[in-house]
Amino acid sequence: MNKLELPNRLLMSSLHMNLDEDTRQHQRLARFYALRARMGVGLIVTAGCSPDAAGKSSPSGFALDGDSEIPRHETITRAVHRAKGRIALQILHLGRHASHAGLVSSSARRAPAIPYTPRALDEAGITATVEAYAACAGRAVTAGYDAVELCFSQGFLVHQFLAPAFNTRSDRWGGIFENRARFAVAVARAVRSRVGRDFPIIFRLPCLDLISGGLSPEESVGLVEALTPFGIDLLNVGIGCHESEVATITMSVPRAAFAGVSARLRARFPGLIFAASNRINDPRLAERLLRDGCADMIAMGRPFLADAALADKARRGAFAEINTCIACNQSCMDFIFASGDPVGCSVAPDCARPEEGRFPPLAASKRVAVAGGGIAGLGAALFLARRGARVTLFESENRLGGQLQLAARVPDKQEFVETIRYYSHAALQAGVEIRLGRAFTADDVAAEPWDHVVLATGSRPRRLDDIPGIDLPHVIDYRDVLENDRHIAFPAVIIGGGGVACDVAKYLIRRAEAGVSVTILQRSSRKLAHKVGRTTRWVLMKELEGAGVTMLKSVDVRRVTPSEVDVIDRVEGRERSIAAGAVIVAAGHLALSGPVDDLRRQGIPFTAVGASRAAEVCNTNITSALREAYEFAMAFS
């Protein structure tokens, strides 16, 4: 890439880590990147880094906007170079997506979910911002970065000039494409003249932004042509942005769904090198895309959160050992929007923690039984075994995975199978003894000298026994629908309004003929599937709404009859009857506790993790199950 030689074609995409409020942000990032560098990633691109104060996510956001910042960035570059890696600084000005009052954009148009309206940059502001990009790139060279990536896509400042959806100016920076592209060209020219001909510049360009008023395919091509004179050393094919009207990174997006965009541009510009991006989560798939000529490099973002050692495992051909990113977004993208917590990974609970990848050996040998082979039990067994415990896992069924097996039956959720595969394989590799078809019973409590027992016995669906008619033959537990593909007589009514109920609705509409009637009845007044993360929920709801699923909130089910469900609609304040050929109950879960009394009698210490830890009604998901398992195992002594 320009004068930079890379050891392989894997690029770790830029990932904002939500560490803005962490005063040790640079040290933490340095460790995070160095671990991945040591494991052989060809090129790492940092989190988006602002060239000036206005472009930061918050006043303490990641930036390189003054010389005083250089030593902190050297912490990162030195750590990566010590690990024999290479790292590019991504220069990203958030524009109207910044979360502070001093934000700017091409136009004074507020971004959804941002409480502030940006100030439209005037001529002097544009000149200063272009200079800030150049100065930032110059500092990146001084700080020891191997390249810079200019983020012109993903809906941020440069994109806000490029796309008419964001740019409503009528001066020389708005209107026709040549004007809208003027800012991008000015930034490219200024940066190239600052860093010189031989320093690699990666351009992340909006190649398919999927918004109304976005760039047309011809404009994306025009942008590449306009920037080529400044030396595009690698074109990172940007797909989508926060405002995209089509899903681009959720589990519902097929793997490598957008590789064709890279392939088309690569054919159009044979002199350039391209990186394909989005939902490429398996190195074997990456290899195929390279062989098929879709791209010259493969950009992966979240897969390097799920597995820091992905590149090394790919090099060794140890594919079964890879902890695959399942595109759930629960601990990464959703954190950026919701909690403000540092970005991590649901399937790798140590991801980006200071102690990531380290499992301190136990001081003394321990014999541990894990009751339950769902994801919480598997996680606890694996993490304890990595710390040196002798672990035996009991699972009453003849397969591992528990509730996750069921979840994997929902359309677009097949990726969960990868998590079961990884944890099962890793647990065996770590020496866990797995006993399938064997529930952990009172006999087992006494059978061996356990130092500790982990109860990961999971949950069972909540029954609604107090509703008259609930035992009629056409009333079905949701598990029966997903697991046994039960025949459903429509119209179907689903009782429950959480993520599972909505997933069951999706399952039904995907399997049945178009136009079937499905109604969801939720007791509470909250929005449906309220616990499903923001980046995934809108995709699910859009599909249910598009298929005509009726969603009723604030309803109390009074009775079920052979052909109807009678409810009180608390919004309308009246009783109504809803026709039902089948009634499916998906109204939450109750914790199963395991042989607690026997353990107490025998004086064996025990800990509950996952669903079995919940007091009664449980709301566990893969994120909390694995986090609890990890935190328990790390604190165990």
Ligand X SMILES: Cc1cc2nc3c(=O)[nH]c(=O)nc-3n(C[C@H](O)[C@H](O)[C@H](O)COP(=O)(O)O)c2cc1C
Chain positions contacting ligand X, by CB under 6 A: 13-16, 47-48, 90, 92, 151, 154, 204, 249, 277-280, 300-303, 332-333, 336, 343
Give the burial class of 470: count Cβ atoms within 10 A of its Cβ; 0-12 exposed, 13-18 middle, 19 or more buried: middle
**Tokens standing for residue 425:** 């394989």
Question: Which of ligand X, ligand SF4, none binds 47 (CB below 5-8 Å, type-dependent)?
Answer: ligand X
Question: Which of ligand SF4, ligand X, none binds 306 (CB below 5-8 Å, type-dependent)?
Answer: ligand SF4
Binding residues with ligand SF4: total (CB under 6 A): 14
Q: Does 347 bind ligand SF4 (CB under 6 A)?
A: yes
Q: Report, in Å, the least distance between residue 607 CB and ligand X.
A: 31
Q: Name the segment binding ligand SF4 (CB under 6 A); options: 45-53, 63-71, 298-306, 478-486.
A: 298-306
Q: Does 413 bind ligand SF4 (CB under 6 A)?
A: no
Q: Report, in Å, the least distance between residue 333 CB and ligand SF4.
A: 7
Q: Phi/psi class of residue 555: alpha, beta or left (left: φ > 0; alpha: ψ in -120 to 50)?
A: beta
Question: Which of ligand X, ligand SF4, none binds 300 (CB below 5-8 Å, type-dependent)?
Answer: ligand X
Q: Return the number of the residue (44 or 505) whose C-beta is nearest ligand X.
A: 44
Torsion of CA 490, 619, 595, 383, to 10 degrees: 120
Q: Does 332 bind ligand SF4 (CB under 6 A)?
A: yes
CA distance 147 to 16: 18
Q: Report, in Å, the least distance between residue 311 CB and ligand SF4.
A: 16
Question: Which of ligand SF4, ligand X, none binds 346 (CB below 5-8 Å, type-dependent)?
Answer: ligand SF4
**CA contacts within 13 A on the Cβ side of 317:** 0
Q: Return the number of the residue (277 or 457) whose C-beta is nearest ligand SF4.
A: 277
Q: Return the number of the residue (187 or 348) whose C-beta is nearest ligand SF4.
A: 348
Q: Report, in Å, the least distance between residue 280 CB and ligand X.
A: 6
For helices 375-386 and 416-429, angle between their N-to-C axes, nearest 10 degrees? 30
Q: Report, in Å, the least distance between residue 416 CB and ligand SF4.
A: 10
Question: How many CB atoms are located within 10 Å of the residue 269 CB?
Answer: 16
Q: Does 309 bind ligand SF4 (CB under 6 A)?
A: no
Question: Which of ligand X, ligand SF4, none binds 48 (CB below 5-8 Å, type-dependent)?
Answer: ligand X
Q: Return the number of the residue (192 or 413) whose C-beta is nearest ligand SF4.
A: 413
Cis peptide before 491 (omega within 30 of 0): yes
CA distance 383 to 611: 18
Question: Which of ligand X, ligand SF4, none binds 107 (CB below 5-8 Å, type-dependent)?
Answer: none
Q: Return the number of the residue (160 or 278) whose C-beta is nearest ligand X.
A: 278
CA triplet 11, 14, 20: central angle to 5 degrees? 150
Q: Does 306 bind ligand SF4 (CB under 6 A)?
A: yes
Q: Return the number of the residue (48 or 594) whose C-beta is nearest ligand X.
A: 48
Number of H helices, E strands in the chain: 21, 26
CA distance 290 to 298: 8
CA triplet 456, 608, 623: central angle to 5 degrees? 70
Q: Does 308 bind ligand SF4 (CB under 6 A)?
A: no
Q: Report, in Å, the least distance between residue 306 CB and ligand SF4.
A: 5
CA distance 289 to 259: 8
Torsion of CA 276, 282, 284, 285, to 10 degrees: -40
CA triplet 270, 275, 278: central angle to 5 degrees? 135
Residues that bind ligand SF4 (CB under 6 A): 302, 305-306, 325-332, 345-347
